[in-house]
Amino acid sequence: MKKLAGLFLSVALAIGLLIPAPSVSAYPGGLLDGKLLNIGPDSTSSAVLTSDQMTDNDEATYYSLPSSTTTSNVNDVVWFKFDYAKDITGYKLKSESTQSVTDIWFFDVYGNSSTLKGITSGASQTISKEKIIKVSVQQGSGSVKKLFEIDFFGFDSTFDVPTLNGTLNIPNVDLNWSTVLAAPAYNIKRSTTPGGPYQTLATVTGTTYTDTTIEVGQTYYYVVTTINGTAESENSNEVEITYSSPSRALLTIYISGGQIKEYDLSAAELNAFLSWYDAKDAGSGPAKYKFVKTWNKGPFKARSEYVIFDKILTFDVDEYEVENP
């Protein structure tokens, strides 16, 4: 008898393994997949509750969404704010009723909002909503309804391309570009060949950047892009900058106390002084700089003059070319 019962149990288990489990109708790959949603009376305030029951790919779990009301203590709004702006191309929703009971709100990075009202349960729709930073769901009418699953589909938004400008400000290159409205950040890129390939120098949120790593005699090609999460715009216009140092320059240094020092320097001598000044300004290097005087040397073996960093008020650089005789 025990053997027969064991046989029936084995057959039952085998049949159970062959018969598929009930389908969960998951919503994989969505922007909200597995994320915690905020719940409260208003999507502009702090969340009262959080839940992943509506994003866990399991239609057996749910949140009971009350009918929309202006009452401040009713948690009738579900929302999520993205880290990066999204272009939303579709959505899918399952609620307790097949009636039109749900409204979806979209908020973009520019402060605009739009809504889809009366969404039917089970609907999977293609839509076009650009640069969305927050979505919210609320019940449009009727009594409390169970919201089983909600998800949106799309990708990180691409923002417009800025216009780049650049200026050689020895020994640096100063870059600036036009503001792209609501752009999260910018990539500054450089190449030593026109058209690239480009190396990313930095990612910034402002619209200016100073390249301090240029070398004398080198030509550089710069572009800038806007970035948003994994999305990046096309390259801006390319700016060409050549670090062509002057043959000579007259360096005029204004010292505290009213003194003025002038030095006629070669390009190499000027660059050495500028490098010392930038390093000391950044907190490193000696406190004084030595100029070797080759004029009015007279009977002396060598003449040197030192300038103290803390005494320098400002200085001018007047570049000139030496004409051939």
Q: Residue 228: give its domain's CATH number.
A: 2.60.40.10
Same domain, 139 and 41: yes
305 SS3 class: strand
Q: Which tokens belong to 196? A: 């690239």
Spell out the residues 6+ positions from residue 135 whose beta carbon is closer than 8 angstroms to its own: 79, 80, 88, 104, 105, 106, 107, 152
Query: What are the structure tokens assigned to 130, written together?
Result: 């650009």
Share of the chain above pLDDT 70, in %: 84
Residues of the domain holding 258: 248-320
Of 130, 156, 182, the position where a domain reaches its end is 156
Do 86 and 195 fall within a single domain? no
Task: Give the Cα separation of 295 and 12 in Å (integer).
Answer: 107
Q: 3-state DSSP call for residue 79?
A: strand
Judgement on whether residues 214 and 299 belong to the same structural domain of the protein:
no
Would 176 be classed as within a structural domain?
yes
- CA-to-CA dists, residue 187 to 21, 208, 218, angstroms: 49, 11, 22
Residue 13 resides in a domain? no
Q: How many domains does the chain have?
A: 3
* Spatial distance between the Cα atoms of 108 and 269, rounded to a whole number of angstroms: 55
Query: Does the residue 43 lie in any domain?
Result: yes
142 within domain boundaries: yes
Burial of 2 (0-12, 13-18, 19+ CB in 10 A): exposed
Domain boundary among the residues 242, 277, 306 is at 242
Task: Please check whether residues 149 and 171 belong to one and the same domain.
Answer: no
pLDDT of residue 108: 96
Judged on CB neighbours under 10 Å (0-12, 13-18, 19+), 220 is buried
pLDDT per residue, tens digit, the chain (325 aa), is 434 444 433 433 333 333 333 333 446 679 999 899 999 888 888 888 999 999 988 888 988 888 776 666 778 899 999 999 999 999 988 887 655 567 899 999 999 999 988 777 776 788 899 999 999 998 866 666 888 889 999 999 999 999 999 999 878 999 999 999 999 999 999 999 999 999 999 999 999 999 999 988 899 999 999 999 999 999 999 999 998 766 788 999 999 989 999 999 888 888 899 999 999 999 999 999 999 877 666 788 888 899 999 999 999 999 887 654 3
**Which of the listed residues 119, 140, 156 is the one where a domain comes to its end?**
156
Backbone torsion region of residue 29, taken as left when φ is above 0, otherwise alpha when ψ lies between -120 and 50, otherwise beta = left
Whether 11 is in a domain gets the answer: no
Clarify whether residues 125 and 56 are in a common domain. yes
Do 276 and 233 lie in one domain? The reply is: no
Residue 223 in tokens:
């572009």
Provide the pLDDT for residue 244: 76
Tokens, residue 15: 């049949």
- For residues 39 and 114, membership in a common domain is answered with yes
Tell me, yes or no, if the pTM score tops 0.75: no
Same-domain pairing of 283 and 204? no
293 in a structural domain: yes
pLDDT tens digits for range 105-154: 999 999 999 998 877 777 678 889 999 999 999 886 666 688 888 999 99
Residues 152, 27 share a domain: yes
Contact 175, 109 (CB under 8 A): no
Is 2 a domain residue?
A: no
Side-chain half-sphere exposure of 273, counting CA atoms within 13 A: 26
CATH classification of the domain holding 130: 2.60.120.260
Same domain, 266 and 186: no
**Tokens at 323, concatenated:** 């004409």
Retrieve residue 282's tokens: 């950044």
Mind spelling out the 3-state secondary structure of 242-300?
Answer: ECCCCCEEEEEEEECCCCEEEEEEEHHHHHHHHHHHHHHHCCCCCCEEEEEECCCCCCC
Q: Look at residue 24 in the predicted model and tell me its pLDDT.
A: 37
Same domain, 28 and 81: yes
Residue 16 within a domain:
no
Please tell me whether residues 224 and 284 are part of one structural domain: no
- Pairwise CA distance, residues 166 & 210, whole Å: 9
